[in-house]
Amino acid sequence: MRRVYRLSDAVKEVLLVLWLWLPLRFLIRHQRIVPVIASLTTYPPRIARSWLAIETLLRQSVKPQHLVLVLNTEEFPSKELPPRIHRQTKRGLEVLWVSRNGRSHDKLIPVRAAHPGETIVTFDDDKFFPRDLLRELVTASERNPRHVVGARGWVIRKDEKATDIHFGQGWTRATPGMTGSDLFTPGGNGCLYPPGSLTSMVDDLDAALSICPAADDIWFWGAIQKNSSPILCLGMPPHRPVSSLKGGPALSSIDPLEEDLQFQRALDHYGIRNQVLKASQPAVTDG
């Protein structure tokens, strides 16, 4: 049965890739242009397949003012793009070249500098994004203008003694429409940051690479908490991953212990440990 499911899933992905590969631009109708900057980044081992995530963003039901792919000249000194991505630049994709390798932080920090005061929506490079994702994020933001809006997220929980907090331990999935300061919304699933929602501390790339070198989601979340910005989660189901990139080298792939270490460092750097503890509920225990 498992083999049948895997075969069925593989066929679905082949059909999806074929749909994205075919030049069916005349079928893509944007309802409107929305005042946001959509951004993502990638790096050499993944760029050849990142056109898939980009294509799903180009085919959204609403169109961002700018769709930005951030690349750095340390990793791409010749600035040569794969043919598919080069063709996407003729259809609205903009490449923002930066001189320094900011790793996964590049999906947001350089874009904030290039588009100050704008609403920015971040994405990862390894997912097929649903066609209405950007529209749903923007609609939720219009109804809740001060909120950071994430497609998916977690409810942060303290440990059983309610004296400490560790990344992911005892956390539960956020349900649709959930709001609060006790939420964690990863930026790669689609996360909308309105102007003023992040402390300017987030722009310190030296600190980001020192404290959270492989955990941009934690770094961005800490900046939300430091600014006491409210968070709203759409509670969407998981986005389909690009199977050829699943399990491969990722910009932010780390083990849980290292992830928690970066989480602890971010709590201390932003000075938000007591604030987060106060906002969070104890872990749910069986019995």
What does pTM read for this prediction?
0.90
Determine whether 264 is exposed, middle or buried from the number of CB atoms within 10 Å of its CB (0-12, 13-18, 19+): middle
Read off the amino acid at residue 252: S
Q: Do strands 154-155 and 183-184 pair parallel, antiparallel, or not at all (unpaired)?
A: antiparallel
Condensed to tens digits (0 to 9), the pLDDT of residues 89-127 reads 999 999 999 999 999 999 999 999 999 999 999 999 999
Bridge partners for 69 per DSSP? 40, 95
Report, as an integer, the average pLDDT of 133-158.
97
- In SS3 terms, 117-179 reads as CCCEEECCCCEECCCCHHHHHHHHHHHCCCCEEECCCEECEECCCCCCCCCCCCCEECCCCEE
- How many residues are there in the chain? 287
Report whether pLDDT(247) > 60.
no
Task: Assess whether pLDDT exceeds 50 at residue 249.
Answer: no
Tokens standing for residue 58: 């180009």
Rounded mean pLDDT of 10-39? 70
Rounded to a whole number of angstroms, the distance between the first and last alpha carbons of the chain is: 34
Helix 2-21 vs helix 51-58: angle between axes, to the nearest 10 degrees?
A: 60
Q: Which architecture does CATH list for 25-282?
A: Alpha-Beta Complex (3.90)
